[in-house]
Structure 1
């Protein structure tokens, strides 16, 4: 299901189609991607069958959100290539068992899709939709040293507010925030 569309991208639900599962595996089995995802359990993927488990985890995590929050595929309109993932969701607290009221935007792109502006375009679209619901600010949290993702945050107009340990079990993360337009 298409969630949003931009000039160049279709943001849609990941599916259990073999092509989507293969791309999930290809992205999340790569050390150059997973090394920035902190202490995410089960990463990097080591067996293609794990892609279906990851897809189910995303689907189940957002089942009650009615499409407002999710972990979506970024599909390039012209080619049909899935460039990666964009996510929008409540950040997990320090104990990771509950959601906070802080909303996170994030992205994970395959190396073959780096440098085309897809992360910025996808994140801008999901943030605009979320701001339209009345959310006052959106965060991006980035592992220290992940300069490309911090550059995306800056292109989005996000302000760097330092390193924080409020979320993801207290992991030290570079934190960026963008206030709602006119807010």
Structure 2
């Protein structure tokens, strides 16, 4: 069935924690995210709160991706939060529930995020993608991101750092 409306990015609402938890309570969705840990609802409630604060502070965050009035995932920008990798950089990221894979939604949303970041004066974005996550690597390449580094996470996973210059 064709989508009735195009994807919308908006600052997550409190109730989006429930949607994110439902969408991401799936080991297959989380397979390439950090350690692959599936999180509980309180974790997502706190996560949404952090994204709301980030949006208030910077205008950017991991935005809820809404299609036909349904939250299907998120896409956005947040500071790299781990104590390894590109400390101090802004990371672009996207995550969709499994039922929403393969429809071009991650690419469409990520392109909109790049435009928002560019409009906000962000000079550079990074994406960190597990080496076996071919769909996310493809999204990063469609955005024009280029390889910057090959990292090894504390868990021993090989992670590509891709970058995109937005400013002069």
Normalising by the residue count of structure 2, what TM-score does the alignment of the two structures yield?
0.81
- Give runs of aligned pairs for residues 62-81 of structure 1, distance below 5 A: 63=53, 65-66=55-56, 67-76=58-67, 79-81=68-70
> Any runs of at least 4 consecutive aligned residues in structure 1 with deviations exceeding 3 A, and if so which?
167-172
Aligned partner (choices 109, 113, 131) of residue 100 of structure 2: 113
**Counterpart of 1:29?**
25
Corresponding residue number in structure 2 for 1:179: 165
Pairwise CA distance, 1:168: 8.0
How does 1:1-183 map onto structure 2 within 5 Å? 8-17=6-15, 20-39=16-35, 43-45=37-39, 50-60=40-50, 63=53, 65-66=55-56, 67-76=58-67, 79-94=68-83, 100-165=87-152, 172-180=158-166, 183=168
**Structure 2 vs 1, CA of residues 127 and 157 (structure 1 numbering), >3 Å: closer, same or farther?**
same
**Alpha-carbon shift at residue 61 of structure 1 (Å):** 5.5
- Matched length: 163
Kindly provide the CA deviation profile for residues 108-143 of structure 1, in whole angstroms up to 9, marking residues without a partner as x: 111111111111111111221212232221111111
Q: Give, in whole Å, the separation in 2 of the partners of 1:65 and 1:11.
A: 12
The answer on whether the counterparts of 1:120 and 1:152 sit within 8 Å (CA) in structure 2 is yes
Which SS does the other structure have where 2:106 is aligned? helix
Measure the CA separation in 2 of the matches of 1:74 and 1:107.
Answer: 9
Separation in 2, partners of 1:163, 1:64: 28
Determine the structure 2 residue equivalent to 1:3: none
Query: Is the 1:83–1:118 Cα contact (8 Å) retained in structure 2?
Result: no
Unaligned regions of 5+ residues in structure 2, if any?
none
